[in-house]
């Protein structure tokens, strides 16, 4: 992944959109896990 990918995940986790996320693992790997 790229630094921008990590920044996007960090901004999401700091936002109100992530209020109901608990106990989850968020992979920031540029899509490698999915392929």
Tell me how many domains the chain contains: 1
Model confidence band, residue 1 (pLDDT cutoffs 50, 70, 90)? low
Among candidate residues 31, 24, 30, the one with its CA nearest the CA of residue 4: 30
35 within a domain of the structure (yes/no)? no
The C-alpha atoms of residue 7 and residue 2 are separated, in whole angstroms, by 9
22 within a domain of the structure (yes/no)? yes
13 within a domain of the structure (yes/no)? yes
34 within a domain of the structure (yes/no)? no
pLDDT tens per residue across span 6-35: 888 899 999 999 999 999 988 887 777 776
1 within a domain of the structure (yes/no)? yes
Residue 22, by phi and psi: left (phi above 0), alpha (psi -120 to 50) or beta? beta
pTM for the complete prediction? 0.63
Domain housing 2: 1-29
């Amino acid at each position: 992944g790229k630094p921008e990918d990590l920044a996007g995940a960090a901004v999401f986790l700091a936002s109100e959109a992530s209020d109901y996320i608990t106990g989850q693992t968020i992979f920031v790997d540029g899509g490698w896990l999915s392929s």
